Structure 1
């Protein structure tokens, strides 16, 4: 097995910052994933060496919430091929995506469909199963799903065919919480309040109505219910794309008596306020839950700077034509982020707000790896971990859609000047991105079954 070394780096490990080298396996054969051999002073020989010249070396990013195609009547701009290219160019080497049965589609059929979709992936991926209003029938296929490596689930409190009420949640969490490998990502918004407000406000092309008809209390009410169910059932729950100070408050205080209760947020909720929804371009900043006011944004930043969140992207971009020809009730909600996430957090968190690099790694990989059972094979620079690595230089660059490695025809990050450029990304010991080009081969990513990962 060939070996490689990244020398003269500032290495962010679980125990702190180490100056020195990382030596790892660099397999040439397809299907083999290299491991880290040594961290710190070099004692092993290496077949090739890259001098990092003092740049940061961090674990390959884990984006724990992406949509590389897979659902809905309006096509998502990125499938696994283009989405995984963007991930590698942004320093991310592992994503968590979804198997979402379409209508009456069976779970086995949905799993096979998504496996075919993922055959071109250049990053490793975990699938989580969406349990819809047909969850009792879907749960009959649970043994098959787990044999297929799926141990994580997505639940919604809103959307046609997917609305799960408190009793539904209690049943699902109570039935499935006995296995600590199982986690639940929950989209938490109050469907009744939203329906009432939409009826009162009517429909229009004023996209600020998205925020008016889905106010912070719509999230807070459902998150309070979830926190109660975590204590009651012992389930391990992550609140998807959190946006409110009230959700952050529920992360305070005693650890749940049973189970685990965490939250993710997304760069767009930290970067923009609901003011972005105003005017002609407001349609481009539509996602659910919607953008919030400055007070809620600041509450999210406070938790992010403490290293207490998972930073995912909910990467779900749509082409301009679908955004512009819509009202606030019909617009396909979703934006991009997998390419820019790690550079953006370095720029806005580390360079602008003084976030230390240990907390940067917590948000971009380690917290997700621990919650979803991938640590320490993922999310850590330690001997034995997968050689998934990102070299980050403290240089400035400007986001331009024409440079994007994904299939976007617009990006909400257009024109942003960011500090922190991904200079190299290694996936399984192979150089997958060299700072200008994605070098990975389609299909070089693999599905991860966390119950079969060796320590």
Structure 2
């Protein structure tokens, strides 16, 4: 038997990875998993999992923390409160966004964000970049250099006036991603359609929060998803389409998979647990709490999203945590006023609740397997953004980021959460599980009752190239009318 003295041993664990479930002790030393097996030597610290499920710590690859906003609006969570809530919800790695403002250097945006995070995070973190101004300097100098430095993913918007790019600009960015091995994320909604619909609604006096959903019907997501896929096909580069909300976008992604295209997709809790009715059935302002883009759809579309989670269509399950207080002049009521839907800050909190919601209704509700849960919440996000196998799995040499699950009935309410937001959109929901223990690089930071602060302990991670395999084709592969390979040869 090995004579290794462990810093921590988790005994009697039902270990779940993306591919296996097995009973084992887990030996941890210097923040890493160093041994798996029965009857491990004693550790300086011991935790008896008592046969409970132990999964890798969650990787939330789409969340917004302390992102610069136009005054008076300000995000409620910074890296302190945001990563505190992540830890208490079983997430041990977060990847928020360093957002470039138009006219700003991309590197300056990354440096500003690095300073916002430094010394504040309780768990490890990386950054995506948001590119809103792809100047020649950004495309030819800054972006390639930042990718080489470990910032290997970026997001482009097809909507929002201060962020949106035209097709030519997106093609330029995708070309950089192809040349330098980065992962490109796309927010797919048709900005012109949204603006046209919004003006018509405003002229009719329909400006309550519930009309946000009317301004963004599935058609605008479907069209933009189709266009994003076409742009990626033209450049011959993988893309990841974020926060997919309903069946019309799903059908476009299935078409892409059927044609062998490397199109990955993400969805979020709001498209499984909220509907358009949560934005209001009358003109009250209460629905502003659930204003996000794309908006939640209906029950039938919830089922379509669940189907995509179970059959492999979706690669990643993220929170899209965008925390704004409801009753605040810096949040959903800018300057203390109830605003027309156009001006309500977009986004809802969900960093702490993401894992428990999917475990409760997905795994324990019989909709997805335990392995698929791990794949969606930890392994695939780590692979998509170049952090695997350090993150996203339980294996020899991986970081000891672990969650011990407590399967019990509870009612979700905002008072039990650790974010700095004054509400949760999932208030009153019946859950079947919650993290009993969260361990970050071998250190317990949540024990099921108390958060154990480790402010500043979180490390900024350097990301490598994406390691996702080509998407498995679950639908018939159709003959393609032309070869993307021949197109790329013509362009090179």
Shift of 1:143: 4.2
Q: Give the stretch that moved more between structures: 369-378 or 211-220.
A: 369-378
Shift of 1:306: 2.5
Paired residue for 1:99? 98
Tell me if 1:261 matches 2:263: yes
**What do residues 157-213 of structure 1 show as CA deviations (whole Å, max 9, x unaligned)?**
111232212222122212331233x10111110011111111111164422211111
Paired residue for 2:39? 42
Q: Give the stretch that moved more between structures: 114-123 or 96-105.
A: 96-105
For the residues of structure 2 that align with 1:41 and 1:231, how far apart are their CA atoms?
49
For the residues of structure 2 that align with 1:452 and 1:225, how far apart are their CA atoms?
25
**What do residues 201-256 of structure 1 show as CA deviations (whole Å, max 9, x unaligned)?**
11644222111111101011111111122222222211111112122223335748
Paired residue for 1:22? 26
Paired residue for 1:233? 235
Shift of 1:67: 0.5
Tell me if 1:158 matches 2:169: no
Quick check: which has more Rg, 1 or 2? Answer: 2
Counterparts in 2 of 1:189 and 1:253: CA distance versus 1, 3 Å:
closer
Within a 5 Å distance, the mapping from 1:120-269 to structure 2 comes to 120-139=120-139, 140-146=141-147, 148-180=149-181, 182-202=182-202, 204-252=206-254, 255=257, 260-269=262-271
Shift of 1:103: 3.5
Shift of 1:106: 1.8
Counterparts in 2 of 1:94 and 1:107: CA distance versus 1, 3 Å:
same
Tell me if 1:412 matches 2:425: yes
Q: CA-atom RMSD, angstroms?
A: 2.0
Cα pair 1:70 1:100 within 8 Å, conserved: yes
Cα pair 1:308 1:363 within 8 Å, conserved: no
Secondary structure of the equivalent of 1:65? coil
Cα pair 1:58 1:381 within 8 Å, conserved: yes
Q: Name structure 1 gaps, 5 residues minimum.
A: 28-33
For the residues of structure 2 that align with 1:253 and 1:331, how far apart are their CA atoms?
34
Shift of 1:300: 0.6
Q: Give the stretch that moved more between structures: 367-376 or 90-99.
A: 367-376
Cα pair 2:243 2:268 within 8 Å, conserved: yes
Paired residue for 2:349? 336
Secondary structure of the equivalent of 1:145? helix
Paired residue for 1:301? 306
Paired residue for 2:49? 52
Paired residue for 1:429? 442
Q: Which aligned segments of 4 or more residues in structure 1 are displaced greater than 3 angstroms?
A: 42-45, 133-137, 253-259
TM-score by length of 2: 0.86
Tell me if 1:288 matches 2:293: yes
Paired residue for 1:372? 385
Cα pair 1:306 1:359 within 8 Å, conserved: no
Which of 47, 54, 63 aligns to 2:60? It is 63
Residues matched between the structures, number: 445
For the residues of structure 1 that align with 2:277 and 2:312, how far apart are their CA atoms?
27
For the residues of structure 2 that align with 1:352 and 1:13, how far apart are their CA atoms?
19
Shift of 1:148: 4.2
Shift of 1:7: 1.1
**What do residues 299-327 of structure 1 show as CA deviations (whole Å, max 9, x unaligned)?**
11101123442110110111113324222
**What do residues 99-151 of structure 1 show as CA deviations (whole Å, max 9, x unaligned)?**
11233222232122111111101111111111113443322312442354211
Tell me if 1:311 matches 2:312: no
Counterparts in 2 of 1:298 and 1:257: CA distance versus 1, 3 Å:
closer
Paired residue for 2:409? 396
For the residues of structure 2 that align with 1:249 and 1:257, how far apart are their CA atoms?
12
Secondary structure of the equivalent of 1:393? strand
Counterparts in 2 of 1:249 and 1:259: CA distance versus 1, 3 Å:
closer
For the residues of structure 2 that align with 1:236 and 1:49, how far apart are their CA atoms?
43
Cα pair 2:102 2:133 within 8 Å, conserved: no
Within a 5 Å distance, the mapping from 1:102-113 to structure 2 comes to 102-113=101-112
**What do residues 349-379 of structure 1 show as CA deviations (whole Å, max 9, x unaligned)?**
1122342100111111112112222222111
Counterparts in 2 of 1:40 and 1:157: CA distance versus 1, 3 Å:
same
Cα pair 2:87 2:445 within 8 Å, conserved: yes
Cα pair 2:152 2:386 within 8 Å, conserved: no
For the residues of structure 2 that align with 1:366 and 1:308, how far apart are their CA atoms?
15
Which of 422, 440, 447 aligns to 2:460? It is 447
Q: Give the stretch that moved more between structures: 54-63 or 286-295.
A: 286-295
Counterparts in 2 of 1:83 and 1:155: CA distance versus 1, 3 Å:
same
Q: Give the stretch that moved more between structures: 261-270 or 155-164.
A: 155-164
Cα pair 1:307 1:363 within 8 Å, conserved: no
